[in-house]
Amino acid sequence: MKRIILMGIIALSGPVLAQNTQSQKKIDDTLAIVGDQPVLRSEFQAVYDLYALQYRPDTISDPNARQQLTLQLKAQVFNDILTTKLFYVAALKDTSIHVSDDQINEQLDAFIDNIKNAIGEDGFNKLLKDLGTDTEGFKRMFRSYIKSQMYAQAYVDAHVRPKVQLSPQEMDSLYQAMKDSITLTPTTVRLAHILIAIKPSRSEEKDALKTAQAIYKKLKSGADFAQIAANYSDDRQTAQNGGYIGVLSRYDLPDSIAEKVFALNPGEISKPVKGQIGYNIFKCLNKQDDKIELAYILVKYNYSSADTQRALKKAEKVMQALKKGASFDSLAEVYSDDESTKDLGGDLGWVQLEMLPSPLKDTVAVMKPGEIKGPIPSDFGYHIVKLIDRQEGQKPTKEQFSQLLYQQKFNEALEAEYQKLQKEIYTDIKVNIQDL
């Protein structure tokens, strides 16, 4: 469902930079009408500016990713305001609900205090300067927004919460039936592994390099990187976002690749770089200290069945040595193709069990500390894993379960009320998100 904001606070973080916002312009057209209440551009822009200061879409160098995040934030803010207005209009029809001017002023003061706590007094003064206003002007800017929230909250308290009933008998019954299937914290495991990578033959590696070089030539001739990534990259998950990976540290990358990409300047494109599963072409979008923002194009090796069999036989050989008592740490150092962990005895550290790919997750789930299993296939090759330790997910107490169950029932009641009000109260949206 579309959320009711009902927060009174937007937690800001990071430096406050000057915003070239429409809120500084004398434009205040109506974006939508909910019942008889307008949603003004000034109200939308004021709230969006605060969201933008928190999520900072302006700091993303890749234009596609920046545009996508901007549209997502605008849609979230606009839908939140529409939803809050819907409950606000319903509250105005209830003569038993009243929020005084003193209560609104008090909430505005609390709203400002929370912003100051998040970004400091100097940060708040900088925010006022960027918005072209003072404290009283800031209050006027957000008064309608805060008023709508307070009335919406009062409506929910009066018409939704009383519908949420949970008897002790019902809670006990549900707790006994569901307590083993609910966790408050996930199960984590500490793993070590020996990775035996599937390696291509010389001819297959040569073919991948030839393809990567042809792509690189297109890019150097002026082809659009994002479009080439969408058309040719074998990493289909990132291809549709122009190959965008995100911001990485030097330690997130293998040393051989980090050396190449950190030599790039913003806007530069690397020659094909050999990786574990193919050749990579990187584009540096931004770089600062030990952080780099990257997009890439992957040309994967086309493995043959012979390549797979060679890796499997090698993994089986390593597993036999472990069964005969060989040291896991020593074999990881000698045989593992994971350059980032082989010198650590293959230690991957603590990871969430649910984050492991299948069938690795399914195997580790039933292992006991000290056990070694393998070979286990993955996209990278064959793994031999050792479970060093595990921490089971925390189960909720009866009181915690009761709170979770209440929140679930409250959300269901809120959704039902929202659907009812949507049918009862006319909403006329006059703009597209792209036009905000």
Which domains are assigned to the chain?
22-167+398-435 (1.10.4030.10), 188-199+304-391 (3.10.50.40), 202-300 (3.10.50.40)
Q: Using pLDDT thresholds of 50, 70 and 90, give the confidence band for residue 295.
A: very high
Q: What is the pLDDT of residues 22-37, one digit of tens each?
A: 434 445 689 999 999 9
Report the candidate in 173, 186, 187 with the shortest Cα–Cα distance to residue 398: 173
Average pLDDT score over residue span 206-232: 94
pLDDT at residue number 31: 92
Average confidence (pLDDT) over 249-276:
89
Q: Is the peptide bond before 359 cis (omega within 30 degrees of 0)?
A: yes
C-alpha span between 287 and 264 (Å, rounded): 9
Long-range contacts of 286-291 (CB under 8 A, 24+ apart): 286/61, 286/247, 287/262, 290/249, 290/250, 290/251, 291/247, 291/248, 291/249
pTM, two decimal places: 0.55
Residues 23, 131 contacting (CB under 8 angstroms): yes
pLDDT of 99 > 60? The answer is yes
One-character DSSP codes across 60-97: --SHHHHHHHHHHHHHHHHHHHHHHHHHHHHHHT-TT-
DSSP state of 345: T
- The mean pLDDT value for 365-375 works out to 94
Q: Which among 283, 248, 255 has a CA at the least distance from the CA of 269?
A: 283
Task: Please give the structure tokens belonging to residue 324.
Answer: 């005969």
For residue 332, give every residue at least 6 positions away whose Cβ sits within 8 Å of its Cβ, in sequence order, or none. 192, 193, 194, 341, 342, 344, 345, 346
* pLDDT per position as a tens digit, 44-84: 988 888 888 777 777 776 677 777 778 888 888 999 999 99
* Cα distance between residue 285 and residue 283, in whole Å: 6
Cβ proximity of 273 and 281 under 8 Å: yes
| Euclidean distance between CA atoms 305 and 307, whole angstroms | 5
Cα–Cα–Cα angle for 257, 258, 261, rounded to 5 degrees: 85
Mapping DSSP to helix (H, G, I), strand (E, B) and coil, where does residue 298 land? strand
State how far the Cα of 96 lies from the Cα of 98, in Å rounded to an integer: 6
DSSP string, 263-275: TPPTT-BPPPEE-
**CA-to-CA dists, residue 225 to 63, 64, 66, 209, angstroms:** 12, 11, 16, 18
